[in-house]
Structure 1
Amino acid sequence: MRDLERCLIFCALLASVYAACPSRCECSEAAHTVKCVSKDLRSIPTGIPGYTRNLFITGNQIGRIGPESFIGLENVTTLSLSNNRISEVESQTFARLRNLRALDLSNNQLAIIHPEAFTVQNQSLRELNLSRALYNHSSVMDLATSLRWSSLGALQVLDLSHNSLILLPARIFSHLLNLRHLQLSNNSLVAIHNSTFQGLEKLEELDLSQNALKTVGEEGIQELDYIPRTTLLLGNNPFMCKCGIESFTLWVNRSQARIWDIDRLVCAFPVSMRNTSLLEAGKLTLGCHQRDAGGDLALQTSYVFLGLVLGFIGLIFLFVLYLNRKGIKKRIYDMRDACREVWEGYHYRFEIDSDPRLSQVSTAADV
């Protein structure tokens, strides 16, 4: 009986290994590869051979993927799902792929990314490509949650380029403790803050080229100093070389060894300094502080002069009052007497109106 069970199990395994290739796909048992490219597929095809290690399902019309999409594919190490118009990735979608090392979801339209969407058994995932994959800012927030909950402690390469990112959520990468390469190029990042790179002590390369950085403030400089062993790419940003950029240019000068594209760090504005290297811009803009100090001194001098003028006018006013003190005193007394006479007249009229007898006498006297 046991021999029969073993035979059935062996036959089932053998059948799964040597399963027929799904329709509209190309299979190579020798290369352990299955390709389903541009076949207008609406879902992940079933019947993919168990020997598959490299699975390419690209250029199709797949809207969502979930845990049921990859049953029986424990041997897959490389999975490419690029350019499929995928909008939703459910939790535990790749959990069965216990040997998965590289996942490519580039060129999709990810609007909903569930927590634990990228969880893989044994934390085997090493590379995650999300270039041109995020639909909007809401999906960026979902991604931040998923990176936190998906147990990606072994991830080494993360590509988030070409996603129109403007700002990154706070501590988005703090749980990727083994990350080596982080691609953030070709976005619209305007600042570096929110402890963005905290925890990335093993990061070897950070690409921030072709973004919208006009300068890097004190907080951003501190963020980059948190990862002193990381080589940087900062070129092709529209740096604005005006007063206030001195601290960044000083940092650039002392960090030349770790900036790979130092020759591409040039001024974009103002026009008079366009294409000037930031290494030289610091020397040219150091006069800003001197000009500012001169401006502050001029402003302070103006305030002092204005105070003296107002004080002089006040003294003249007091002197005039002193010279006319008798006339002013007489006018005050005259106003007091006039007010007293008016008040007594009102008081007398009130008494007459309140006593009927006095009112009759007053009327008779008038007649």
Structure 2
Amino acid sequence: MTHEPSGLKIIDRFSISLVRCEKRPTSPFGCKVGLRSVIIHSVLLCSSFKKSRKYSDVGKLNKINFDSLKRPDYVRTLTIRCRHLSRKESNPAAGVFRDFRNLDRLEIDRCHLKSLPSALFSGLQNLYSLVVKNAKLSVIPLDLFAYTPNMMTLDLAGNELRIEPYALRSLRNLIHLDLSNNSIDFVTNTLISLTKLKVLTMDNNRLTNIDFRRLPKTLTDLSLRNNFITTIHYVSGSVRNLRRIDLSGNRLDFIAGSGSINMLPPSLRQIDLSNNQIAFIEDKSLAELKMLAVLNLKDNQLTELKVESLSGPENRLRLLLGRNPFKCHCGIRWLIHSTEKTYPVVLDLSELNCSSLLNDNQKLSLTVADQRNLLICQYDILCPTSCICCDKPVCSCRSSCPPKCRCYRSANMESAQKTRNVVMCEKMRFDGSEEIPDTITELQINSVQLEQWDIKKLQKLRALETIRISNTSITDDQANSLYSSRVLMELQLSSTNITKVPSNIGNLSQLILIDNPLTQLTNGDISVSEIFPQSLKLEKNQL
């Protein structure tokens, strides 16, 4: 009958199990050691570890601590962690791990390593995983990895490296490399020699650009989060196996549809571009990315997004677009109304907001703006779908935007919801309403020279409900003609030269007088403000 020692769990005679001994010796690095062993039917290992309990003078023990282990060749995983915020420098001797000839994984964390001897890892031919992180290393000896030819994963995160170590060239079997949280600002050709590398992580460095030609073609996963990257260089054939890339938290401001700058590799299936400064995505930017499944564009500077920019993937693309400063433009209406199954689907549609093209301070949920028909677009010529003469020289149902003005209309002019047709004119001569579309609902005039004012012409515009006049010379008589209009519902006069509040505001539901030379209120003015308290707003005048 086999007796089971303390700390050892044997499942059956041929099982492989992990063992953590209750007592841990100290190491040549000046800190305690966590020892885990993969064993096959052994009952002696834990007893040998218990004998290490007597070595408790942390910081002064050397290689003899490891020599005290009866069977170090049984150890498969060795973890060394120094105290948090420790300033004590560790100077391990060459070959300190040589008796751990079957060691699979070695982790050294938080130990301040002033320098490393080139033969530190001698004897560890079977080591496949090495972690040396938060060690303040700035230089790696050229031959450091010459003794670990079978290493497959290497973690050098949290050091002070300024360039990829040249010593990496000897790791021909390396699959996973982590260089995060260093000070690397440039990628050289060192990594090209790693012909089996599949996963590369370089988060939180100082990279400003990335050239895919300097990366191995075998790479499948690349993470470059939180750098300073403004430019990526792609040439056909480079990183042809890349499937996933994370460029979040960088400074990219556009994605290109052609050329070699800011082009995305066609082999990609998942792309994270969140938290950049992307304001523009060119048409056909994804044309060659046939296998792309997920694209994250959250927290960028997109104000609009054309569906043509995202065409290319063979399967329906899944998009993340939250926290972009979208404008309430009809060009983004497709995000809600996908007319084709090939259109991308927005996973975070409920998080999308937009600001009015006519008023930046007005922000709405995109879905609400669409429901209220508040998505608008600029136009030069406006023809309803029922108009049959739009392509003819003379057409009564066609509306044209006046010269030097900007015109906007609702995305859905046939909607049962209220539609908008806004004309904005500034810094020009304005002599009436001859060229204003009959379907106009709002007229905005800014810094305009009024040659003449014929209220009868404005009254013929039956859909006109709102007029906003600013930075324009307008007399009290001209203003009175507007107050008496039967069609207007809202009138705003800002920075004009009117001096009086009207005694009668007609059918207006709102009259806004801002920054005008109104010096005093008469009894009649006060009466108007008392009768229509919700309709009259006086702000920044000279009262």
Q: What are the Cα deviations for residues 19-48 of structure 1, in whole angstroms up to 9, with x where unaligned?
A: 998949999988721111121212344423
Q: What are the Cα deviations for residues 273-325 of structure 1, in whole angstroms up to 9, with x where unaligned?
A: 534233643642257346437789945159xxx9xx9xxxxxxxxxxxxxxxx
Partner of 1:186: 275
Find the aligned partners of 1:175 and 1:261 in 2 and give their Cα distance: 23
Asked if structure 1 preserves the Cα contact closer than 8 Å seen for 2:300 and 2:324, the reply is: yes
SS at match of 1:223: helix
Count of equivalent residues: 272
Find the aligned partners of 1:52 and 1:198 in 2 and give their Cα distance: 39
Asked if structure 2 preserves the Cα contact closer than 8 Å seen for 1:266 and 1:277, the reply is: yes
Find the aligned partners of 1:265 and 1:162 in 2 and give their Cα distance: 20
SS at match of 1:116: helix
Asked if structure 2 preserves the Cα contact closer than 8 Å seen for 1:153 and 1:175, the reply is: no
Partner of 1:34: 130
TM-score (norm 1): 0.63
In the alignment, which of 285, 293, 307 is matched to residue 221 of structure 1? 307
The answer to which structure has the higher strand fraction is 2
In the alignment, which of 97, 101, 104 is matched to residue 201 of structure 2? 104
Residues 1:150 and 1:203: Cα distance change in structure 2 (over 3 Å):
same
Residues 1:134 and 1:117: Cα distance change in structure 2 (over 3 Å):
farther
* Aligned residues with identical type, % of pairs: 23
Structure 1 position 173, deviation (Å): 6.6
Structure 1 position 65, deviation (Å): 2.6
Partner of 1:156: 243
Partner of 1:85: 183
Structure 1 position 111, deviation (Å): 3.8
Q: What are the Cα deviations for residues 131-153 of structure 1, in whole angstroms up to 9, with x where unaligned?
A: 12235x3xx1xx32xx3267211
Partner of 1:360: none
Find the aligned partners of 2:198 and 2:302 in 1 and give their Cα distance: 33
Structure 1 position 89, deviation (Å): 1.3
Find the aligned partners of 1:293 and 1:55 in 2 and give their Cα distance: 62
Asked if structure 2 preserves the Cα contact closer than 8 Å seen for 1:39 and 1:60, the reply is: yes
SS at match of 1:36: strand
SS at match of 2:245: strand
Point out where structure 2 has 5 or more consecutive residues left out of the alignment: 1-97, 107-114, 377-408, 411-418, 426-431, 438-450, 455-543
- Greater RCO (CA < 8 Å, at least 6 residues apart): 1
Residues 1:29 and 1:284: Cα distance change in structure 2 (over 3 Å):
farther
Write out aligned runs for 1:190-339 (5 A).
190-193=279-282, 195-216=284-305, 220-227=306-313, 229-241=316-328, 245-254=329-338, 258-268=345-355, 270=359, 273-278=362-367, 280-281=369-370, 283-285=372-374, 288-289=409-410, 291-292=420-421, 298=433, 300=435
Q: Does 1:168 align with 2:255?
A: yes
Partner of 1:95: 192
Find the aligned partners of 1:63 and 1:150 in 2 and give their Cα distance: 28
In the alignment, which of 139, 144, 157 is matched to residue 43 of structure 1? 139
Point out where structure 1 has 5 or more consecutive residues left out of the alignment: 1-14, 310-367
TM-score (norm 2): 0.44
Partner of 1:74: 172
- Single out whichever of 162-171 and 152-161 deviates more from structure 2: 162-171
In the alignment, which of 136, 160, 173 is matched to residue 61 of structure 1? 160
The answer to which structure has the higher helix fraction is 1
Find the aligned partners of 2:360 and 2:209 in 1 and give their Cα distance: 43
- Single out whichever of 20-29 and 55-64 deviates more from structure 2: 20-29
Structure 1 position 239, deviation (Å): 1.8
Find the aligned partners of 1:65 and 1:56 in 2 and give their Cα distance: 12
Structure 1 position 196, deviation (Å): 2.4
Find the aligned partners of 2:237 and 2:162 in 1 and give their Cα distance: 21
